Structure 1
Amino acid sequence: MKIAEIFYSVQGEGSLVGVPSVFIRTSGCNLRCSWCDTPYTSWHPEGEMMEVPAIMTVAQSFGARHAVVTGGEPMIAPGIRELTQALRAAGFHITIETAGTVLADVACDLMSISPKLANSTPEGPFAQQHERLRLQVDVLSQLTSRCSYQLKFVVRDPDDMSEINQLVQALGAGKEHVILMPEGIDRDTLRERGLWLAEICKQTGFRFSPRLHVDLYGNRRGV
């Protein structure tokens, strides 16, 4: 499978924020988000082909007990089933970060689903494909029934809440599963959007998530 990077850091987003984790980032994605913060896995996929044993050797070298399989879109990666089974056999807690557009037979402890809102649709030749694929409610319903999950929405504007509320209602998801995170790749943008988004969380009861890795390290790879 094509791997963009493997690194050790703290989880920067969601319900496990702050937990030391090894990140296994697959390369390749079926979407083309306009604000994608890892274009080297989607718009211009980079990486090297690695077999599962080689991936595991690197992953286990850090001594972490939490593994985050991310992308790109890891659910389309050839070998994702074998990789997650190997992680499970090695005793890792497994988080899979996915847009929730594809089903795959995976071992998983936390399905971290980030449904892509209308704010993600790009202009240009990929717009039609992205818009057609970005929300698959049937897939989301199945993913949320398979294991523990969180719905992690990337919010750019308060108007995004209408789409978020509709989807949460359609999925029958409890507020404890819903996480709102400001869109942005620099501290100033995240702080500006985070201030009004925190107020929305107070009003709705949804959870707020920072992007801790951006706050700590900036917009850098491998952190």
Structure 2
Amino acid sequence: MKVSEIFLSIEGEGIRTGAPAVFVRLFGCNLRCSYCDSMYAVEGSDFQELSPVEVFEKVKSFNTQFVTLTGGEPLIHKDVEVLLKMLDDYGLEVNIETNGTQPKPSGYRHMFCTMDWKSISSGMQPKMKLENMMTLSGRDVLKFVVGTEEDLQDAARVIGAMEAEYARRGMKLPTFYVSPIFGTMKYEDMVDWILHNATMKRNNVRFQVQLHKVIWDPEARGV
């Protein structure tokens, strides 16, 4: 598999924010989002070919409980399920950061997904399929990266559709996060919008900023 980087840092967003984790960033993506902050893992030749066993051994060497598999888009790699099984059998808790074009993998005891619904601002929303969001469970996360009020309105629409369907199925919804596109809409305006939208308030939508971009330079790699 093509690996962009493997490094130890803290989780910068989501349910495990602030916790130490090993990040495995795989190279290559099937989308081209307007706000992508890791194009070095999407285009070019800045990667190395490693087997799932080699990646697994490198992850183990950091001696942490949490692993985040990211990209690019990790779920388009043909050997990713081999790696996931190794990590799962070893008892590591894996967070798969995935772009919403693939359904959540199943059959793993210690894995959860942080899935994106691509906003209108991303330019990639036509690639989104609501049925992929419906594969998420109560232990997963659905993230909306937004930059405009139109993006927020679209996020509320998706959450409302999921709320109705999950109620019909008797299932627990994933945790919803709204994350601003860096340098766009004012944070206070975004938070105010969330607090005054009935669907978002009813479903306890969480606002977040990317902590790693606060601690380190926003353009830094390996953090």
Which interval holds the TM-score relative to the shorter structure? 0.7 to 0.9
How far the C-alpha of 1:162 sits from its partner, in A, is 1.2
Partner of 2:102: 102
| Greater helix content | 1
Give 5+ residue unaligned stretches, structure 1.
122-129
Q: Deviations over 1:113-137 (max 9, x none)?
A: 111111001xxxxxxxx4542x111
Maintained 8 Å contact 2:116/2:143:
yes
Maintained 8 Å contact 1:101/1:140:
no
Partner of 1:126: none
Give 5+ residue unaligned stretches, structure 2.
167-171
The DSSP-based 3-state class of the residue aligned with 2:149 is: coil
Partner of 1:118: 120
Query: Of residues 93, 115, 131 in structure 2, which corresponds to 1:138?
Result: 131
How far the C-alpha of 1:177 sits from its partner, in A, is 1.4
The DSSP-based 3-state class of the residue aligned with 1:15 is: coil
Maintained 8 Å contact 1:26/1:41:
yes
Q: Deviations over 1:6-54 (max 9, x none)?
A: 0110000112110110000111111000110000122446311100111
Q: Structure 1 residues 131, 194: closer, same or farther in 2, change over 3 A?
A: closer
TM-score by length of 2: 0.85
Partner of 1:93: 93
Farther off after superposition, 77-86 or 167-176: 167-176
Maintained 8 Å contact 1:10/1:21:
yes
Maintained 8 Å contact 2:119/2:125:
no
- Aligned-residue RMSD, C-alpha: 2.1
Task: Determine if the alignment matches structure 1 residue 181 to structure 2 residue 183.
Answer: no
Maintained 8 Å contact 1:39/1:45:
no
Farther off after superposition, 199-208 or 58-67: 199-208
Partner of 1:167: 158
TM-score by length of 1: 0.85
